[in-house]
Amino acid sequence: MVDAEAIRSWLSLFAAEVARNRDLLTRLDAAIGDADHGANLDRGTSAAVSALAGDAALSPRTLLKTMGMTLVSSVGGASGPLYGSLFLRMAGSAGGADSLDAPAFAAALRAGLDGVVARGRAQAGDKTMYDALSPACDALDHAVAAGNDLGHALSLATAAADAGRNATIPMLARKGRASYLGERSVGHQDPGATSVALLISTAARALSGDVSQ
Amino acid sequence: MKKLINDPANVLSESLLGVDAAHPELRVDHEHKVIFRGDAPRPGKVGLVSGGGSGHEPLHGGFVGHGMLDAAACGEVFTSPVPDQITAATNGVDGGAGVLHIVKNYTGDVMNFEMAAEMAGATGGAEVVAVVTDDDVAVQDSLYTVGRRGVGVTVLVEKIAGAAAEAERSLSDVAAVARRVNAAGRSMGLALTSCTVPAAGKPTFDLPDDQIEVGIGIHGEPGRTRVPLAPAAEMARMLVDPILDDLEFSGDGVLAFVNGMGGTPLIELYLMYHEVDRLLAKAGVTVTRSLVGSYITSLDMAGCSVTLLKLDDEMLRLWDAPVRTPALRWGL
Ligand SMILES: Nc1ncnc2c1ncn2[C@@H]1O[C@H](COP(=O)(O)OP(=O)(O)O)[C@@H](O)[C@H]1O
Ligand SMILES: [Mg+2]
């Protein structure tokens, strides 16, 4: 079961990975955007880690909500509202439960995806974070419905997110700054899809141990 | 990287300390990184709020003052402000007549301003109307993507809508004027060099000495195409032709705006203005107003953009109205 402690360790692991990959994310954004995705996200996730540390609250919902609010109020750019909406919708979906089982976690992540779409209106193939997040949600739903435990389901979701991230390379961008480049956006990996792949792989690492079948 | 900075992390906050010290007529909210007119909010006047990533100075903070903006929300370098900043700006200029948000068309800016407006709506705050600028003809196939970027015309929208607000026109009137200006303006830019974002420490893209990027935005994004460096007369054509192809400019008087990207001296901008002016004369376009200088920049990028605006009588009158801001001032 994913309880508050598990969520807390996921979010701090994600923050650590963002910090470690800050330069990579910024370099990817320099190629097809404005060279700030790593700096933006790192600013937000480090602020969120401090906010979460001071948050004695013990439900997944409050932690996810603090994460979302902190990202909205500290990231800026496109990724602030998008990641913010992702976590705020996850918080809404988590409701008042003390812990989430595999179907509830999968439902929460899908709610997060819906939040990203509601805010950014991206579709499959637009070369955005959607292209990593949506296959991850599909894989997670599928694996959970087939009766896999959350740890295994999240490892399948990680593979799907990684594949989705890689699949952004040949895409022609239709959303975000990269779309201004037209044909020149082809051949570059999307920074937002890259950070989403970190989000899913850290979920797999942080949440698998906490699963009771 | 050689820059006049102390620590890349503090560039914006330390620069705002300088704005505060240099301009006693303005008020700086350092917590939210918002620059206000000293006398905001003005009862009965529509409040004008703009904002965006920093690094485009004097846009937007340099345009706060009489006859232009009431507040500018300053995001991190090249990163839109967050909703909290925009909300602080909105509340601080709400004089009861509503607030106009002037937003450049970038995904991040649009989403953060939208969230701030939703929050104002949900908490019974000021009535907010947003006008999005999208004048960059370099963005093709814009119907299928996120649309054109907001660039040079934003300066002209802020001046002209600012004059309408100063005349105590209603929120819907001021918004309508702002939309008209945006619809009648087109821009195109080119870069001779990349720019260096302080936090990144190195140029955003590599551009060989003998190449230029055509169709750039204002964030060091690569442009549409890379071509060999050419004489100014030819580079002027690369900017003016796509604009004239996009909108009919003959007939009305036109405001011609040659803008520096931050690293180009005024002597070159005037040389370019001459080339632009010649091309416009040849195309039968009558220039009745001009603006030459670095007003919407991309840090230390060398290069320029051209913006043309078809002026109707009302826009012309509002353009000529008095303005007193750090970066634009006349008639007062
Ligand atoms: N409309 C959208 N929907 C989903 N994701 C988007 C959208 N627009 C941009 N993105 C994502 O945001 C990322 C860029 O984030 P960031 O660099 O932080 O913001 P900005 O583009 O404002 O500088 C892109 O790589 C892309 O994945
Ligand atoms: Mg970016």
pLDDT digits (tens, 9 = 90+) for B211-251: 999 999 998 877 888 999 999 999 999 999 999 999 999 88
Q: Cβ(A174)–Cβ(A186) under 8 Å?
A: no
Question: Residue A80 is nearest to which of B82, B204, B217, comparing CB atoms?
Answer: B82
Superfamily of chain region B12-184: Dihydroxyacetone kinase; domain 1 (3.40.50.10440)
Distance A73 CA to ligand 1 centre (A): 16
pLDDT digits (tens, 9 = 90+) for B167-185: 999 999 999 999 999 999 9
| B120 CA to centre of own chain | 24
Would you call A192 an interface residue with chain B, using a CB distance cutoff of 8 Å? Answer: no
Averaged pLDDT of chain B: 95
SS3 B107: helix
Q: What is the dihedral of CA B237, B240, B246, B250, to 10 degrees?
A: -120
Instruction: Give tens-digit pLDDT for B23-54.
Output: 999 999 999 999 999 999 999 999 999 999 99
Half-sphere exposure of B194 (CA within 13 A, CB side): 21
| Nearest in space to A79 (alpha carbons), one of A25, A126, A159, A160 | A25
Q: Which CATH architecture has domain B186-310?
A: 2-Layer Sandwich (3.30)
**Measured between alpha carbons, how far is residue B271 from residues A130, B30, B145, B176, B291 in Å?**
46, 39, 35, 35, 13
Distances (CA, A) of B214 to A51, A188, B223, B304: 44, 20, 5, 10
The pLDDT, as a whole number, for residue B321 is 98
Min Cα distance A146 → chain B (Å) is 37
Query: At a CB cut-off of 8 Å and minimum separation 6, what does A23 contact?
Result: A38
pLDDT level of residue A57 (50, 70, 90 thresholds): low
| pLDDT reading at A213 higher than 50 | no
Which residue is associated with the tokens 């936090």? B199
Q: Give the domain ranges of chain A.
A: 2-207
Overall average pLDDT of the A169-193 stretch: 93
Rg, C-alpha atoms of chain B: 19
Catalytic residue among B32, B56, B60, B66: B56
Give the integer Cα–Cα distance in Å for A170 and B90. 42
ipTM, two decimals, is 0.89
Which residues on adjacent β-strands are paired with residue B28?
B35
Q: Coil, strand, or helix at residue B208? A: coil
> String of b and e for B155-177 (b: at least 16 CB within 10 Å)?
bbbbbbbbbbbbeebebeebbbb
Q: What residues of A are in contact with residue B53 (Cβ under 8 Å)?
A: 76-77
Closest Cα to atom 1 of ligand 1: A120
Ligand 1 within 6 A of CB of A131? no
B219 is catalytic: yes
B80/A43 touch (CB, cutoff 8 Å), yes or no = no
Round to whole Å and give the CA distance between A205 and A41: 20
Diameter of chain A by CA atoms?
A: 49
Distance from the A50 Cα atom to the nearest Cα atom in chain B, whole angstroms: 18
Q: Give phi and psi for B284, each to the nearest 5.
A: 80, 25
Count of Cβ atoms closer than 10 Å to residue B236 Cβ = 25
CATH assignment of A2-207?
1.25.40.340
Other beta carbons within 10 Å of B178 = 28
Nearest CA in chain B to A174: B145
Residue A22 touches partner B, C-beta closer than 8 Å:
no
Please provide the average confidence, as pLDDT, over all residues in chain A. Answer: 94
Distance from residue B250's CA to the centre of ligand 1 (Å) = 39
Q: Which of B83, B141, B146 sits opposite A72 (nearest CB)?
A: B83
Catalytic residue among B23, B32, B66, B219: B219
Contact B70, B93 (CB under 8 A): yes
Res A210 pLDDT > 60: no
List the domain boundaries for chain B. Answer: 12-184, 186-310
Question: How far apart are alpha carbons B166 and B163 in whole angstroms?
Answer: 5
Q: Do A33 and B221 touch (CB under 8 A)?
A: yes
Beta bridge partners of B196: B203
Residue A182: what pLDDT? 84
pLDDT tens digits along B52-90: 999 999 999 999 999 999 999 999 999 999 999 999 999
pLDDT at B222: 75
**Total count of residues recorded for chain B:** 332
Evaluate if residue A63 carries a pLDDT over 70.
Answer: yes
Two structure tokens written together for A40: 């933006």
For the residues B302-309, what does the mean pLDDT come to? 98
Q: Is the pLDDT of residue B142 over 70?
A: no
Cross-chain CB nearest to B81 (options A76, A78, A175):
A76
Q: Judge whether A12 and A49 are in contact, CB under 8 Å.
A: yes
Taking a 5 Å cut-off on Cβ, the residues next to ion ligand 2 are A 29, 33-34, 36-37
